[in-house]
Amino acid sequence: MKNIIIASTSTLHNGSYLDYLLPELENHFKKVTTILFIPYARPSGISHDEYTEKVRQTFALINKKVTGIHEFQDPIKAINEAEGIFTGGGNTFVLVNELYRNNIIDSLEKVVNNGTPYLGTSAGSNICGLTMNTTNDMPIVYPPSFRTLGFVSFNINPHYLDPDLNSTHMGETRETRINEFHSFNPQPVIGLREGSWLEVKGESIRLKGNLTARLFQKNQSPEEIEPETELKDLK
């Protein structure tokens, strides 16, 4: 049975790393002693070691050990033997490129579908959708495919921002970008605002947190989704 948390972000404004999610994570990983961390997304270009140490310090607060997948000689074996898995945020193109380069995307999909507890934040959440095409990131590397893990039957836009009617910025809004996506792709997109997450338990997919999410469907007006809404039939 799938057991997944798909979080928009790791850090809220004026908060510390993962602090708003720690009570949820303590329960999510309650049967786990050691979490396998996938640091491939490298936010701000930090090293895998630096990123893993940051995560290690946070999970120590709930008495969980952390090992980085880059510390293993055989990453596929590390995935297959992991008690729990966390993929952190950063650049989605870099993350997906490394998943393919290390030949672990299929193994990751398989173990999580078979019940290994998984946490994704930001880029690590983006890859839970059907494709990575609704990322906010710059294409600084070129992965061999945009296909991702497909743990949910739609795409995800983490860090979703509503249009600011008072802004003088003339660039495209997130809504505009998602509408562009729907000119070429059929699947729905969930815009996850900061502090929101999706909880996947088996076939159930529920919006968690205190905020609504924005649902975009091709050729339909966007709509607001209330917390606790069941999304398993969204396709």
* Amino acid 230: pLDDT: 98
* Amino acid 229: pLDDT: 98
Answer yes or no: 182 catalytic: no
Task: Give me the domain span that covers residue 135.
Answer: 3-225
Tell me if 235 is assigned to some domain: no
* Amino acid 216: pLDDT: 98
Q: β-strands 34-38, 65-68: how paired?
A: parallel
Tell me if 146 is assigned to some domain: yes
Catalytic residue among 8, 122, 125, 196: 122
Tell me if 118 is assigned to some domain: yes
* Amino acid 41: pLDDT: 98
- Which residue do the tokens 């003339």 mark? 170
Which residue stretches of the chain have pLDDT < 70? 169-171
* Amino acid 170: pLDDT: 59
Query: What DSSP string runs through 191-230?
Result: EPPTT-EEEEETTEEEEESSS-EEEE-TTS--EEE-TT-B
Tell me if 104 is assigned to some domain: yes
* Amino acid 169: pLDDT: 66
* Amino acid 14: pLDDT: 85
Catalytic residue among 107, 137, 182, 196: 137
Answer yes or no: 106 catalytic: no
Q: What is the pLDDT of residues 133-172, one digit of tens each?
A: 999 999 999 999 999 999 999 999 999 998 777 777 656 8
CATH code for the domain in which residue 197 is found: 3.40.50.880
The mean of the pLDDT values for the chain is 96
Q: How many domains does the chain have?
A: 1
* Amino acid 171: pLDDT: 65
Tell me if 107 is assigned to some domain: yes
* Amino acid 125: pLDDT: 98
- Which residue do the tokens 């562009």 mark? 180
